[in-house]
Amino acid sequence: MSETADVVVVGAGLSGLECASAIVAAGVGDVLVVETGGARTGTTAPTPLAWVSTAPPHYVRTSRERLVGGRSLDWHGVVLRLEEWALADPAWPAPARSALSSLYEQVEGELADWAGGTLSRDRQIHGLGRVLPAGQAVPQAVRPDGDGGWRAYTPLDRCTSWMASGERGGQPRVRTGCQALTLVTRAGRVSGVRVQDRGTGDTETITTTTLVLAAGTLDNTRLVAQLAGADRPPAFTGVNDHLVQGFVVRLPPAALGWPQPADAFEYLACGNIRSNLFARTRAVPENTQEVLLDVWAMGEQLRSEHNAVSFPDPGRVPWYGLVTPGLSEPDRAVLAGQRRELTKLWTRLAGRQATALRLPDFLDTPFAFDRALARVMSEPLAVPVGYCWPLGTVEHESGTLPLGGAHVGETGELSAAAGGYVVGPATFPRSGAANPSLTTLALARWTAARVLTG
Ligand SMILES: Cc1cc2nc3c(=O)[nH]c(=O)nc-3n(C[C@H](O)[C@H](O)[C@H](O)COP(=O)(O)OP(=O)(O)OC[C@H]3O[C@@H](n4cnc5c(N)ncnc54)[C@H](O)[C@@H]3O)c2cc1C
């Protein structure tokens, strides 16, 4: 007898668990979340990565172990609202845009409760005014982890122990080591999902009439693409990631106006270059006389035909996918503006006599953050090392299945299969400069409300 559920959610990550718990909290008893990863480290066979890129290192997917919780186990908890200038784009369906302002308030309130009352992490002993005049503390949904560190919000807590005030009890069922292979439809409606057990290799169909795709942008895109059938494999333009470049440098604390090293994390919105500037300090290992300063700009990449996802060889399910990354003229303008701002900021901090800041070529020879961090440790004090994050490695990939677009309606409903829905950053019509997760959590509620009304 095959399994059935009132609602099946594919993917137990940030968007999937948030959506599933909102549906359960509204009183739906039988919600099943299928997750290809395991419940704990080392418990499930790895899911093969079926993605390649035409321009490595951009969109070279690292094979992180998949676990229940998805990237909500790793994220840094930075919660920023999408900027007014990005939301004003008519690409955002008007109902979603107007729902977002109250959803932001609701989610921020709950995250603050979860975090112990506030989203500002009270650890800033000294400000970063010398780096970012008018900078503000970065809002983060984090709380102490019990080991002297901090951890970010995960909706997994909602499925185990934590409830927002007034929320009903109850949990979705989570089936681990279970990879969704393809949606099953009958007469244009969802009738189930074909899954494979990662341990035994057995496949079966789970029967449902309501299915929410929450497998991350690229895997959601693959599952939607497969609906079209192998004789008509569609291509998706508009995949985008944030444009991120910056520098790291070791400094004496006095350069920041501080008597001693301290942790600080601030940001400044720069709407003119569709970016946020961030500055963060950390301790230098085994050195109490220096502080490591990391300054970066995170900017919007527009959805454009320069960035595509395609499926060149649709044979065996799941289809293997190809990402073709690129930069449009507006993207290049954002990068040039960021370079100007970062250079200005470094020159103001270090003086005109200081070592000049060099930033790598973003598209052709990106020099990743980890390499810059390793190099700065062998450079003298006050020598900055520039870096940029290759596209697709910022983990903010989005935009292939925008709300109100060809594949997905205004509330996340799939056009090709009634009863099917999509959540996650894939549905953003425009990404703005803000980190995506606050909007992801808010839109998970938006689509959950639509699932509940059918
Ligand atoms: C180190 C790091 C730091 C970050 N910091 C921030 C931050 O501070 N602020 C911010 O806004 N964002 C941040 N992000 C980005 C944020 O984590 C992602 O945007 C967010 O998790 C995406 O949510 P999602 O639900 O779409 O994907 P995920 O959270 O990745 O969830 C997708 C889930 O689906 C599962 N899955 C995939 N395919 C299948 C399948 N076929 N069948 C079954 N299950 C499947 C995956 O295993 C995964 O568990 C960060 C990311 C990383 C990695």
DSSP letters, 26-95, are TT---EEEE-SSBSSTTSSPPPPP-EEESSTTTT----PPPBTTGGGGT---B--PPPHHHHTSTTS-HH
Do residues 299 and 338 make contact, with C-beta atoms less than 8 angstroms apart? yes
Which tens digit of pLDDT belongs to each residue from 372-394? 999 999 999 999 999 999 999 99
Exposure class string for 137-153: b at 16+ Cβ within 10 A, else e:
bbbbbbbeeeeeeebbb
CA-223 nearest atom, ligand 1: 41
CA-220 nearest atom, ligand 1: 38
157: in domain: yes
Q: Is the pLDDT of residue 397 over 70?
A: yes
92: in domain: yes
Range of the structural domain that residue 77 is part of:
7-117+149-240+393-453
288, 246, 250: which is closest to 383 by C-alpha? 250
CB neighbours (10 Å) of residue 386? 20
223: in domain: yes
379: in domain: no
| Residue 127 pLDDT | 87
Residue nearest to atom 3 of ligand 1 (CA): 75
| Residue 125 pLDDT | 61
CA-436 nearest atom, ligand 1: 11
User: What is the amino acid identity at position 36?
Assistant: T
| Residue 193 pLDDT | 98
Do residues 297 and 326 make contact, with C-beta atoms less than 8 angstroms apart? no
| Residue 161 pLDDT | 76
* Distance of alpha carbon 454 from alpha carbon 434, whole angstroms: 31
Do residues 3 and 32 make contact, with C-beta atoms less than 8 angstroms apart? yes
| CATH number of 419's domain | 3.50.50.60
What average pLDDT does this structure show over 141-163? 90
* Distance of alpha carbon 99 from alpha carbon 14, whole angstroms: 20
Pocket test for ligand 1, best of 71, 203, 276 (most atoms within 8 A of CB): 71
Pocket test for ligand 1, best of 33, 428, 437, 443 (most atoms within 8 A of CB): 437
* Distance of alpha carbon 373 from alpha carbon 368, whole angstroms: 9
352: in domain: no
Q: Per the structure, how many domains does the chain have? A: 1
| Residue 166 pLDDT | 73
- Give 333's pLDDT tier (boundaries 50, 70, 90): very high
SS3 414: strand
* Distance of alpha carbon 402 from alpha carbon 91, whole angstroms: 9
CA-69 nearest atom, ligand 1: 49
Helical (H) or strand (E) element with 346: helix 329-350
214: in domain: yes
CA-17 nearest atom, ligand 1: 25
Which tens digit of pLDDT belongs to each residue from 57-69? 999 976 778 999 9
Helical (H) or strand (E) element with 454: none
Residue nearest to atom 24 of ligand 1 (CA): 216
| Residue 104 pLDDT | 98
SS3 328: coil
Pocket-forming residues, ligand 1, beta carbon under 6 Å: 10-16, 34-37, 66, 70-72, 74-78, 179-180, 214-216, 219, 395-396, 424-425, 435-437, 440
| Residue 142 pLDDT | 96
- Give 124's pLDDT tier (boundaries 50, 70, 90): low
Mean pLDDT computed over every residue of the chain: 94
406: in domain: yes
Do residues 81 and 434 make contact, with C-beta atoms less than 8 angstroms apart? yes
Sign of the CA dihedral running 210, 214, 215, 220: positive
32: in domain: yes
| Residue 122 pLDDT | 57
**Distance, CA of 39 to chain centre:** 21
Q: Is the pLDDT of residue 368 over 90?
A: yes
Helices (H), 116-162: 156-160
Structure token pair of residue 152: 């970010």
Structure token pair of residue 429: 């019509």
